[in-house]
Amino acid sequence: MRRFAPGVLPVYGLLILPLPLLVVVGYLLPTLGVLGWSFSLPEWGTQNYAAIADNANLQAVIWRTLRICLLTTAISVAIAYLIAYRWRFATPRGRQLIELFVLLPFWLSMLIRAFAWLVLLRNGGLVSQGLMATGWFDAPPPLVRNELGALIGMVHFMVPYAVLPLLSSLKQVDDSLLRASSSLGASHWQTLKDIFIPLTLPGVVAASAIVFVFSLGCFVTPALLGGGKAAMLAEYIYVQMFQLSNWGLGAALSIVLMLLVVGCALLFGQLIGYRRLLGRTEL
């Protein structure tokens, strides 16, 4: 503090001030407003939360959301780990190609990708025709406008988000540890199971947290590919607020969604440790 000349600290304070203001104005105040709606619309009380606790349809939407998000997380992280593992031991040119294909989906709109999957998975689409050509199906399999279609689209959307933290985690593994394991007679599978995967566990947990949280709020992909038959919580909130004008129930569901996100962050933090999850400890 003594190294700063008089008047310097107030200047730094003014530079930092917009960040807390942005948090308060952009996040805290709207959240408090939504919380107020959940208790005040259509009248003061806890009737909206009571409806969530008593309504079997609302509970089914919540459980469907959790089920799809968990499946999306597990499949996306598994695929992303394979991609990151291949990147870890690839040549420099191979790494560049992998990075290009990982970043390429970010250049396309979520809406475009969802419509592309809708065309591919629909009856008579390329995937459906390919499966019919194998002779395994007598009729076009239902690949879209259901939970399977929503799951496929969400996995495709989430894999790049899982790859990025995994690349950072796998890059930090010391090659000398792998060589030492091999020189002591460990097989490739033993080295992978006992050394490589445990050292990259923080990256796996971070990728899982990112994918799960993003999946909870996913709206466009499940709405298009689910066709209303696999409505998730974000889509249901949209319907309640903007189609049925049921702002109180929609606000209560938004608070429930936010609590799920917070609970997810706390759970992952307890599982792996907050400092490791935030990347503040060395491997």
pLDDT of residue 1: 45
pLDDT in tens, 229-272: 778 888 888 888 888 888 999 999 999 888 888 887 787 777 66
pLDDT of residue 24: 77
Whether residue 280 is predicted with pLDDT greater than 70 in this model: the reply is no
Weakest mean pLDDT among 127-131, 151-155, 273-277:
273-277
What would the CATH number be for the domain defined by 48-279?
Answer: 1.10.3720.10
Select from 100, 144, 92, 93 the least CA-distant residue to 119.
144
Check: CB of residue 42 under 8 Å from CB of residue 128: no
pLDDT of residue 155: 94
Q: Which positions ≥6 away from 109 have C-beta within 8 Å? A: none
* Distance of alpha carbon 173 from alpha carbon 87, whole angstroms: 13
Q: Which residues of 152-184 are buried (b: 16+ CB within 10 A; e: fewer)?
A: bbbbbbbbbbbbbbbbbbbeebeeeebeebeee
Kindly indicate the confidence band of residue 5, based on its pLDDT and cuts at 50, 70 and 90: low
Whether residue 281 is predicted with pLDDT greater than 50 in this model: the reply is no
Check: CB of residue 63 under 8 Å from CB of residue 55: no
Whether residue 282 is predicted with pLDDT greater than 60 in this model: the reply is no
If you average pLDDT over residues 165-179, what whole number do you get?
85
* Distance of alpha carbon 196 from alpha carbon 178, whole angstroms: 8
pLDDT of residue 29: 84
pLDDT in tens, 63-105: 999 999 999 999 999 999 999 999 988 888 989 999 898 888 8
Q: Which is more confident, 17 or 176?
A: 176
Kindly indicate the confidence band of residue 278, based on its pLDDT and cuts at 50, 70 and 90: low
